[in-house]
Amino acid sequence: MAKKRLHIKTYGCQMNVYDSARMADVLAPLGYEATDVPDDADLVILNTCHIREKAAEKVYSEVGRLRLLKEEKARTGGRMLVAVGGCVAQAQGEEMMRRAPTIDLVFGPQAYQDLPDLLGRATRELMETGRSHVVAVDLAVDEKFDRLPEMAAAQGYSAFLTIQEGCDKFCSFCVVPYTRGAEYSRPVPDIIAEARRMVDQGTVEITLLGQNVNAWHGDDGTGAAAGLGELMRRLAEIDGLERIRYTTSHPRDVDADLIAAHRDVPKIMPFLHLPVQSGSDRILKAMNRRHNAARYHEIIASLRDARPDLALSSDFIVGYPGETDADFEATMDLVRQVGFASAYSFKYSPRPGTPAADLDEQVPEDVKSLRLAALQEELLRQQEAFNTATVGQILPVLLERDGRHPGQLVGRSPFMQAVSVDAGSAAGHLKGTIRNVEIAAVLSNSLRGRLVEPVNLVAAQ
């Protein structure tokens, strides 16, 4: 079979990273091999994300650049197919085809298992009419994972594993229910089997993914439903899997068993991303978040009782329609009271089709900017304080990749901090292992540490 070149550009979340790897697996039997650049690719896929502002415009700009490459390839007798997948594709579908004729195929995140058939249709249309117009935006996910092949290539020492897709929460600002569909949980046996294959290929750390990952409630293999805490207990039994993480969680789905798992399972890392979005009960209700600030504080207190060294990350939206100075100050109060090791914060921006986009009382842009700056200043102060507090501590670090300098390795602490160490001539042997590292200094975006002697492999604590 003739080899063909495949270039996938991935936007946005970790789930898209996982999806892009699975797209490559689906296309491998057709002879496609990955290339890092689109210049001479036979197929270019843009795997898009709809969460960030102006996401669609960025995709169209990229399509414009690809049009020139596609035309150049045609002049030399070749052919480049351009496909757009992911959440922007799901949201815009036919509109993308009308706006950008360069695109040959548009497919949503629940359709990439059908890529061989979809590409076949696109190719036939091109040969017969000179123009392809294939759109696949089905949101049914039930059979998606059953039809995906086994992972063809190693995913790295730290890898993603999707266990849940979709969302039933319908937060008023969010497009996910409309682009990923209803919540779906993969069954336990399938997850365990995929995790074992990943570990057999060298993976040491797995991050479980889902739009609402802690809403996962998969069949345990007997017809009964299990929760995320039980799933992680099962995963922890896999020899060679040393670290387990999960993202992204919703406060509503944090239950007692999940909290207990943080206490009882050392392989679960002491770092949790738990978006709160606002500290104002009035705004949380308007957002349809289904929790209030007091409940968020209760959850954090229970988690810290179970795992005292737990570090927290969160998401914040400032300037939601109708947000007053008092509402924003409630968010600042929550941030000061909880304390975060890291966080993501954004100005509210309307997403077409979501309830919040049509609300009155849109907050002026300059007010949103001032509030975001104040919030980020406090979050950065907390992050710097957390990182500084680790100086002098000995942390187990998963060494994942080469650093900028010869003999340097870069890895992650249990708290998701990037840590660089000088491993010297042993760097090649230490990559992919978890090593004790004494943190020596805080850099602008990472920590610097030194390997502790004797350098023995340790399990993450």
Distance CA 404, CA 90 (A): 39
At residue 333, the pLDDT reads 98
Q: Which residue has the higher pLDDT, 459 or 241?
A: 241
At residue 12, the pLDDT reads 83
- Give the pTM: 0.88
Distance CA 16, CA 11 (A): 7
Is the domain covering 271-389 a CATH 3.40.50.2300 domain?
no
At residue 52, the pLDDT reads 67
395, pLDDT greater than 60: yes
451, pLDDT greater than 70: yes
17-37 pLDDT per residue, tens: 999 999 999 999 999 999 999
Give the residue among 435, 414, 439, 413 at the shortest CA–CA distance from 423.
Answer: 435
Chain CA centroid to CA 100, Å? 28
Q: Which residue has the higher pLDDT, 188 or 351?
A: 188
Token pair 């104002």: residue: 280
Backbone phi, psi, residue 227, to 5°:
-105, 175
Q: What is the DSSP letter of 151?
A: P
CATH architecture classification, 154-269: 2-Layer Sandwich (3.30)
Q: What is the mean pLDDT of residues 97-118?
A: 93
Least confident of 173-187, 212-226, 318-332, 397-411: 173-187
282-291 pLDDT per residue, tens: 999 999 999 9
228, pLDDT greater than 80: yes
Domain boundaries, the chain: 4-136, 154-269, 271-389, 394-451
Q: List, in sequence order, every residue forming a beta bridge with 312; answer none if it has no partner.
A: 272
Burial of 431 (0-12, 13-18, 19+ CB in 10 A): middle
CA dihedral angle for residue 418, residue 423, residue 427, residue 431, rounded to 10 degrees: -40
Judged by DSSP in three states, 134 sits in strand
Considering the chain, what percentage of its residues have pLDDT values greater than 70?
A: 96
Strand ranges of the sheet holding 205-209, from the earlier edge strand across to the other edge: 158-162, 205-209, 243-247
142-164 pLDDT per residue, tens: 667 877 887 766 789 999 999 99
Q: What is the mean pLDDT of residues 352-376?
A: 94
At residue 130, the pLDDT reads 83
Token pair 């020492």: residue: 157
Distance CA 130, CA 123 (A): 9
57-101 pLDDT per residue, tens: 889 999 999 999 999 999 999 999 999 999 999 988 889 999 999
Average pLDDT, whole number, for the chain?
A: 93
10, pLDDT greater than 90: yes
Q: What is the mean pLDDT of residues 425-435?
A: 94
45, pLDDT greater than 80: yes
At residue 1, the pLDDT reads 66
Domain 4-136 CATH class label: alpha beta
Confidence of residue 411 (pLDDT cuts 50, 70, 90): very high
Confidence of residue 459 (pLDDT cuts 50, 70, 90): very low
Distance CA 76, CA 142 (A): 43
Residue 428's alpha-carbon distances to 400, 402, 408, 422, 432, in angstroms, are 11, 9, 10, 12, 9
Domains 4-136 and 394-451 share a fold: no
With b meaning 16 or more CB within 10 Å and e meaning fewer, what string describes 92-105?
Answer: bbeebbeebebbbb
At residue 56, the pLDDT reads 78
Q: What is the mean pLDDT of residues 249-262?
A: 98
Confidence of residue 141 (pLDDT cuts 50, 70, 90): low
Q: Which residue has the higher pLDDT, 93 or 210?
A: 210
456, pLDDT greater than 80: no
460, pLDDT greater than 50: no
Question: Domain 394-451 belongs to what topology?
Answer: OB fold (Dihydrolipoamide Acetyltransferase, E2P) (2.40.50)
